[in-house]
Every structure is written in structure tokens, then in C-alpha cells.
Structure 1
Amino acid sequence: MFAIIAVYEQYKQDVFVYLVSITHNTTLSQDLVSETFHSAIKSLSSFEGKSDIKTWLFSIARYKWYEYLRKEKPTISLDDLTKYYICDECEPDEIVAQNEVARRISQLLLREDTRTRDIVLRRIEGYSFYEIAKKWGISEGSARVIDFRTKKKLKEMLTREGFEYE
């Protein structure tokens, strides 16, 4: 129990700052911090320590943000989520203006095999690597590698085509 409290005390501010950077809303970020740590506590047994705990918490926080977006704006499109996927550092306001990039990403994904396309689309929709790996019967690491390589490939293709996404 004390370890959980220590983790919370050590990382709550970092998670909060990260959430404010993507939501631009301090009140919402405070709520999402609570949800993030609640989910982290529930899934603590599945944390294998293969990544830094801060990275793990950030991925949960990001998932909670996506979950909020889906609930708050039920009509959020795959294109909107795709814009978040390709640009790790972009501000949400900048991303929303880049509809053409999202459409092109969707077209490029059609060239990928079914498993790769599904893994990327699930990440775009906010699924965790654990959930994706479970669906495909692969390790979380494999799901991460497939996602990373595909994202890198998409970025390279977009750059060659002259698209700006950052």
C-alpha cells in the first residue's frame, strides 16, 4: 500500500503536466490524473517493468484522454484520432487543422497487411499494447515494435510526399 502512495506522490505532478500539455484544461487534467492512477492501481499486476513506470503512467494517461474524447464527443472521427497518432509533440489545435494528413495516413495504412493495419488503428483508437497483443496472440513488445515501425514508415512517406505534420 505504501508503495502505491509513493508512486502517486512521485509521479502525480508529471502526469498532470503531461495531461495539461495535451488537454489544455487544468480541471479536466486533474480529473484524468485521478482516473490514470485509479487504472494504474487496477492494472498494477499486469505491469511487467519492461518500461519505466513514468512511461507506463503516461500511456495510461493518454489512453484516458482518448477515452474522454470518445465519450465527450461521440462523433470524433478516426481522422481526428489519426492526427494525434502521427504527431507525438503536436498541439491538438494544430492537429485538427491537418485533415489532409489524416486522410493520407488512412490511405497509406490500406497498403499494410491486416495485422499491422489493425494494430495501428487500435493504437489510434486508444487501445493499450496489452489489449492489442492479447487480440493478436503476440507479445506486448511485438505490438510496440510493429506500431513503432509503422509510425516511422508513415512519417517517412509523408515527409517524402511533402506533408507537414509537426
Structure 2
Amino acid sequence: MVRLPGLDRSFRIPHDLAHFVTEREFELGHGVFGSIAAGAMFSNMAVVGGRPRYDANVRSRAVIRAYAAELSLAEVLSGVVHDGVEHETNPEKLYRHLLIAYGSLRSGPCPYQVATLRRCLGLLWALSDRWRAVPVGQRLALRWELPGAARTPSPH
């Protein structure tokens, strides 16, 4: 079990919470949370339950290297979604931003639909209420489950 800090309360939701929902709804199995599930450890994380693997550092580097392209995509898409929640952007307008962001990393048509973006935004709005109710110093516990399409072998 790992902990990601929520940082400060200057945003409606923490950026990592935007990642969590965006990666789940857009079925990014190897974004930040899929990479963590596969053994990646990012510098802001802390192990709070269980014991790390004997080769945790080596595995972390291998996972991050193997999933670098999807980590970049997850960062770009989560940034668009996070910005949309923070600024209460209309989903159709935000979708245009998402298409541009996707096109900055990948060629071909964007596989994501505006309906998925709307669902993602709705879930984040609901989670923002839960997040604001968490007292300072407490936690919002979430469980990551790999999206159905992402059940692939680890990079080793």
C-alpha cells in the first residue's frame, strides 16, 4: 500500500486524483496508477503497508521505462481533465482541448469520446466533494483496479 500526498488545498481536487479517475475512465492501464500497481515508485510516494520487493528500485525504473509513452499520455489527458474541473469548463469545449492534447503525442484519430470525458468529469465532481470533506492530515483511500483492456503482462 502506498500513499500519495494530496499537497495543498489550493485546487478543487489534487492532480493525482484527476489522474486516478482519468486513467480509469480512459482505460489507461499503464499510466501513473497502472505503473504503481506494476511496481513503479515515484519520488512523492511512500510505502505505508506491506514490504517493498527486494528489487524495488530496479523494478520501478524498468516499469517507468517500459510505460513511458502511456505515462506521457496519462499526464497530458489528466492535465486537460484536471484543468476542466478546476475551471468548470464545458465538456464539449474541453473535448476540443483533449483532441489537441492527444494529437500532440499520438498520430491518427483520438480513440476517446466526449461521453467518456463527461463521465470522467462527473466522477471527479463527486470525488471533489469527498476530498473536501477529508480533514487535513487524514486520507481519502482509493483502490486501483486495472481497466479491463489493460490486463497485460508486466514489463519483465
Q: TM-score over 0.5 for the alignment?
A: no
Higher helix share: 1
Relative contact order higher in (CA < 8 Å, ≥ 6 apart): 2
TM-score, normalised relative to structure 1:
0.27
